[in-house]
Amino acid sequence: MPYQPITTLEPHPSSVSDNREGIASAEPDTLMVPARRPIIREGERPEHIYLLLSGMACRFRVQRDGSRQIIGFLLPGDFCDLQLFGKSQYAVSAMNVCKLAVFSRSRLADLVQDDASLALTLLRESALEASAMREWLVTAGLGKAERQMAHLFCELHARLGSRDEAGPISYSLPLTQADVADALGLSPVHVNRVLMVLRKRGLVSWTGSVLSILDLAGLESLAEFSPAYLPSRSSTVATRVALQNAFSRPNVESANQNSYQPHPSEAGTAMPWAMPAVA
């Protein structure tokens, strides 16, 4: 089932009707995280696994000099970190206000040991995440800023919209040029220059938080983009259904986490890389 064109980061209507209620009844806890606040910190061992229901988040690492390298954007239907054992290898933060479904990590680990089908489903999900990260590495290694940016925009479109959509299509995204710079390994000034090039070629326009793809075929040609590495809609739905069925079993422990509590060192402060919106 393909994604339908949307202009916000609310969950796809079909995912709400088919899965939101099931997830909520199976595991009632949800978590609201404010914009630009951490969901998972690098090196910590989260007690829960989070499934993004609405909003947009990013995976990243902070370098010794304080700079941030984004290694992936998360959209509704994505897991923030599906690692069942060990510590998180990266941090996850909300780009805008995010709503998360919360699953007990220890409970899920126990369920996986007793349910081979669920284990295979989560293994497939992890493999798809690894495939997406490899694609990011390949694109980052190209050293061609225009192609890198075109590939990023094509990926966001493939995950949010329909490849059959004709004509311009716009998305409201909580991204700044600094976010794009951190994702592509460029400076904000370089990002602005590349955007001007893509704009002059009639491929995209970006005003405020609105990204408009004006020529999808041209953008995909520049990016040499193929969506084969991205998970299908049916795969995402299958994973949600598997979790719903697993957590619907008797004696499921509640996650007991009903509201977001910032880390003490971050309470009342913005993240150091929380840049202002693009004018």
Report CA torsion sign: 219, 225, 228, 229. negative
The predicted model scores a pTM of 0.73
By the 8 A CB rule, do 212 and 205 touch?
yes
- % of residues, the chain, pLDDT over 70: 69
The pLDDT value given to residue 94 = 96
Tens digit of pLDDT for each residue in 97-113? Answer: 999 988 888 888 788 78
Q: What mean pLDDT comes out for the span 133-157?
A: 82
Question: Hey, what long-range contacts does 145-148 have (CB within 8 A, 24 or more apart)?
Answer: 145/184, 145/186, 145/190, 145/194, 146/194, 146/197, 146/198, 146/222, 147/222, 147/223, 147/224, 148/184, 148/186
Considering only residues 84 and 270, tell me which one the structure prediction assigns the higher pLDDT.
84
pLDDT confidence band for 143 (50 / 70 / 90): low
Helix (H, G, I), strand (E, B) or coil at 129: helix
Helix (H, G, I), strand (E, B) or coil at 128: helix
The pLDDT value given to residue 213 = 93
Tens digit of pLDDT for each residue in 150-198? Answer: 999 999 998 886 555 555 788 999 999 999 999 998 999 999 999 999 9
Look up residue 97 and give its two tokens: 């206000």
Domains of the chain with bracketed CATH: 13-266 (2.60.120.10)
**Sheet containing 30-33, strands listed edge to edge, beginning at the edge strand earlier in sequence:** 30-33, 98-104, 48-54
Q: Is 166 exposed, middle or buried (0-12, 13-18, 19+ CB in 10 A)?
A: exposed
List alpha helices for the chain, DSSP H. Answer: 13-15, 21-26, 105-114, 116-140, 145-160, 177-184, 188-200, 216-223, 233-247
What letter represents residue 29's amino acid? D
Task: Report which of 59, 114, 60, 112 is spatially closest to residue 50, judged by C-alpha positions.
Answer: 59
